[in-house]
Structure formats: structure tokens, C-alpha cells
Structure 1
Amino acid sequence: MILNEAYKYILNNSEVFFEAVKIHLVLSFVAVGLGIIICVPLGIYLAKTEKASLIIMNIVNVGRIIPSLAVLALVMPFVGIGFVPSLIALTLLVCPPILINTVIAVKEVDKSIVEAAYGMGMNKARVIRKVEFPLALPVIITGVRTASVEVIASATLAAFIGGGGLGVFIINGIAGANASMLLVGAIPVALLAFLAEFTIGGIEKLTTPPTT
């Protein structure tokens, strides 16, 4: 049975398998982390700068239609192959959902609450930190959840440019017409994506204020 063969392969090659899982997770988590560091502050700034927001958001929306593999191919001539180019490409892939959700979330914060905060004597930085950001957080986390699921799936493509990860098993399975080898990579990726969706979805619910 194909699943049994895949399981036996993992047992017999556990060191190789778990190294691939580790690389896959590092690529995914670091890419999402960089996406958050870059896009959340940028999104807050754009939400308050109408002209710049319109231009950059249009560029980002156009960029979202570019296939993941094409992004990898585009960065390869500039930074070569391996882990770092894969990380750069994956970071570019996670940025749009985080940035878009951050801009939307901050723009949709109730203006009366913001005005009340200013009326209490808060300065701009404190209003952002204490009022706007906490209220926008659930929607921002939704963007992080979307980005995380996308990047876990897309990280399989890193194998095409020598980035390693679980995609190596998928490529080898396709190249050798070996369904069990393909499943060695595909099933863990699906499980990791589901785990990310479930975990970050839980965090999102915790940060969402109860409705009255």
C-alpha cells in the first residue's frame, strides 16, 4: 500500500526526513516573521497616507497574481540558489496578505474611539499603540494566518532552487513516478498547513473582542 510504503520510508530515513521538516519549518516561520516585521508597520503607515496607500496597494494586488514558482525564478538570477534565495522569495509571497489586512484593519478602526483617545490627551504614537493596533489586531492575525498557510504550501517550491525542505520528496516522487515518495512530502505539508490554520485561528479568536 502506498501509505504504508511512505511510512516505512520515513522510519528508515528518519534523519533525512526530519532535517527536511526542520528546513521547511524554518523557511516558513522566518518568512512569516520577516513579513510581520516589514508589513505591519508599513501597513499602519499606509493606512494613514491615502495617496501612498493607493499606489502601493495596487502594486501589491498585481503582485499577488504572480505564481509562486515565478517569484522563485525572478529572484534566482540576483541572489543565486539555496536557502537564502528561497527565504527571500517566500518573504515576498507572505507580504501581500499581511500588508493588505493591516491597512484594512487600521482604516476600519472606529474613528470615534480614536478621537476620544486624542481627547484624553494621548499623542499619535500612543493612540496607535494603545488603541488602533489592539483593535486592528484580529484582522491583522487573519492576514498572518492566510500568509502562514500559503507559505507552508509554497515552501515546497524552494526545492526547485536548492532550498531544501519537504518539496525535495515531492520533486523526487514526481521525477521517479513514485507515489509513496511524493506522499512523504505532501502529507506532512498538508498537516503543517492545517496545524498553522488551527493554531493561528485560535489566537485570532482570543484577540477578537466579544460581540454584544
Structure 2
Amino acid sequence: MFTGIISELGTLTVIEPEPSRDAARLTIHAPASTVDLPIGGSISVNGTCLTATSIDDGTVVVDAIGETLRRTALRALRPGAPVNLERCVPASGRFDGHLVQGHVDGTGTISRIEIHGDWRQVRIALPPGLGRYVAEKGSIALDGVSLTVTAVNEPTSASADGPDDWCEVGLIPATLSATTLGTRVVGDLVNIEVDVLAKYAARRDDYDRAAEEVAAR
């Protein structure tokens, strides 16, 4: 379990596609995040929960299977790319962000960036199906960064959960300097994890709606 508070900017040094396994192996330079990280321990890489399979001299190796590569923007990374890193939060730790599982729901595209002095307003085009889980002043994780949603589009019967769904977040100077979001440009992909509570609430609504339809037959 994570909080969306990035502890280190690591560097992807090697990415080895393994087509026969439908997977890829990533080597990340992460001197701070590898301290006391055990083999088999969890680490969030751009918001994706991955398992450390090898650790040596400040680097960590993780495997990304096909499902992970298809669902996240890790597939677009190249050697030399900075990555947001977070270790899983200890039970006795302080919860500064929000509940983040490291289970990426999909990728969004940065569609607009407005610069306001030293902070930025960023709009993310959401993939179909995720708009229903995003609410103004709710929480969202973008590339593993815990953020507050500042605006969402108003759904209509024609566009609900459609390709035109979007949300906006505000990025303060600390976020811009401490995470990869400070270097993102229009057109970039970002990993999205919506609030887990919103997913369960929507799932319950689906069941209730289905039960009402069955009862009405």
C-alpha cells in the first residue's frame, strides 16, 4: 500500500523486453529507495506496484508482465528516463497522501497545461470508463503522485464515460520539482489510479441497478 507521496526520482538505466515471456525487465538506479528494500519487497514505479527481484549497489531490478505493460505507460519508457519512486508505507507510518494501491487503472493523455506563475493547471484526457470514478475535490494518482482533482467535465447522456472525459489537477512548485510531472508536456501519457473507494461504490451501484432491472421484469 502507498500514499502517493514520491520519495525519490530514480532513473531507468536498462529495459529488456522479453517477448517469449510477454514481459520486460527494468533496471532502475534508486540509491535511496533500495536502502533496506528486501528481495520480494514492493516498490511503486510511476504509480505501478512492482516487486524487487534483484538489488545491487543502489539499483533495483523489477519485472513487468504483459498485463502491466498493456495497462500502464511503463511500455513507453526508454533508458535514461526519470521515474517516480515510493516504498510501501509501514503500518506505523504517517499517511500524508491518500490510499494508493499501485494498481494502475489505465493511461491518460495530457491535453492542456496552463502556467500560473510557479504552478500549473493540467488537464488529463481520461480513457473510456474511468470518468465515472473521478469527482471534483476527490483524489487521483497520476504517475504515482497523489493529487486533488480540481475540475471534471460534466457528464451527459451522450458522452458519459466517453472519450471526451477529462479531469484537471493543480501542480504546486514542490510537486513540479520533486516528481516527473514537472517535465511532462502536452501529449504525454500518464498512469492513472482512481480512488479505490469510488470503484467499489460504483460496483455496488451496478449491482443495485441490475437487481432493480431483474425485479422489474
TM-score (norm 1): 0.23
Q: Which has the higher strand share?
A: 2
Instruction: Identify the structure with bigger relative contact order (alpha carbons < 8 Å, sequence gap 6+).
Output: 1
Structure ranking higher in helix proportion: 1
Larger Rg: 1 or 2? Answer: 1
TM-score (norm 2): 0.23
